[in-house]
Amino acid sequence: MINETQLTEMIKDAKKSEKQRKFKQSLEMIMVFKDIDVKKGFALNEVVQLPKTSSPSTVCVLASGDMGLKAKNAKADRVIDGDELNKLGANKRESRKFINSFDFFLADTKLMPAVGKALGQLLGPRGKMPTPVPFNAPIESFLERFRTSIRVRSKNSLATSCKIGDESMEDSVLAANAHAVLSAIEKKLPNGDKNIKKVMIKTTMGKLVKQPAQAKK
């Protein structure tokens, strides 16, 4: 697999820009796979915790009672209870807006049946079904983990891309994030890193920087 030193060089190259942008650009990593039969339903929907993030992911907690209160105290981006959940389920347009507003969902295990009934048809295809949180589990720890995580998705495709940070972050930190993603994804591939054809890095508006030839499999 490509190493952090090679990733650092790619990131430095990607950051070189002839034109100064008026906004902070994201750094994206693109992975292209090989020797996988997508017709057999190949799909990825992995949550990967990054070593360091520049901006936390947004997390909504579906819970009431003690868990809901703890989630609010832990500054969850949004906490909704069963009644609000049912209201959302009755309005598809609002449900879509709501689901698109958050990166991740956590839910009290007791509410999971209601979540499936109210929002399952919208959450499922988006790969955003909530992670169940058992009774008395530390919701604060769950929130901390998901705030520093990203989702890597690919369905019936031999490529996927994800954000590893932004141009204000140090090259070595971005490389560590990229390496964490690669390590997690290769574990989900049939033949590990042998299924990774190439890796590319780019800024939002920048050029694609391909991995060094010697790093390719």
pLDDT in tens, 53-109: 989 999 999 999 999 999 999 999 999 999 999 999 899 999 999 999 999 999 999
Task: Label residue 18 by pLDDT band (50, 70, 90).
Answer: low
Q: What are the start-end ranges of the E strands in the chain?
A: 26-33, 43-49, 59-62, 78-80, 104-108, 131-133, 149-155, 159-166, 196-203, 209-210
Task: Label residue 216 by pLDDT band (50, 70, 90).
Answer: low
pLDDT of 217 over the 80 cut: no
Give pLDDT, residue 162.
96
216 within 8 A of 26, measured Cβ to Cβ: no
pLDDT of 131 over the 90 cut: yes
pLDDT of 121 over the 60 cut: yes
pLDDT of 170 over the 90 cut: yes
pLDDT of 22 over the 90 cut: no
Task: Label residue 24 by pLDDT band (50, 70, 90).
Answer: confident
163 within 8 A of 27, measured Cβ to Cβ: yes
Instruction: Give residue limits of the domains in the chain.
Output: 4-54+148-215, 59-146
The domain over range 4-54+148-215 is classified in CATH as 3.10.129.10: no
Beta-bridge mates of residue 33: 196
Give pLDDT, residue 215.
52
- Rounded to two decimals, what is the model's pTM? 0.88
Instruction: Give the up-direction half-sphere exposure of residue 157: CA atoms within 13 A in the CB hemisphere.
Output: 12
Task: Label residue 129 by pLDDT band (50, 70, 90).
Answer: very high
What is the CATH superfamily name and number for domain 59-146?
Ribosomal protein L1/L10, domain II (3.40.50.790)
The per-residue pLDDT for range 173-184, each reduced to its tens digit, is: 999 999 999 999
And the tokens for 48? Answer: 């990967």
131 within 8 A of 60, measured Cβ to Cβ: no
